Structure 1
């Protein structure tokens, strides 16, 4: 079941400038601040991530990640509905699994299972 937005990741070319913008926008300091990734936690519980050189990794814009209870089943269902897998489910730390698919219109859909 998908019912909440887990995170939004933004590709950035200037991590320091993006970090300053999102600190101002969200009103919080980064929870994770590394050269390879900056992560904010909003008051509403939404994670906002900044991915340096994300465009080099195929990111064409912001990528929303939806919380799912069974990532394998959701990827399979979306593929059956016409999506193509651009990132197979994989662990990103702490047991969290993520995957990315592209829908038939070219939109990017991220999935996250905690």
Structure 2
């Protein structure tokens, strides 16, 4: 095996059509305000990662699973901010629950809770 091992996902960019609506959902998901906020890019720094929202461009986003301490509380928080539940919280293994929501542009966001 060659090269250095990965340090995990540090930056994720998501295409959006309505920057303001998406900004509210991601702020609720991450629990922080944007560190960069302009008409052409909104970025958040949380837990050593940078999440960017880019209007236009034709990109598609990967599904990323965000570790949360209370999946039901986070589902309530992000749906109140405008996300839509795609897959309700359910157990996928002993002590592990997952759920997915969609942001205002249909990007899928995963939530994961380990007990």
| TM-score, scaled to structure 2 | 0.48
| TM-score, scaled to structure 1 | 0.48
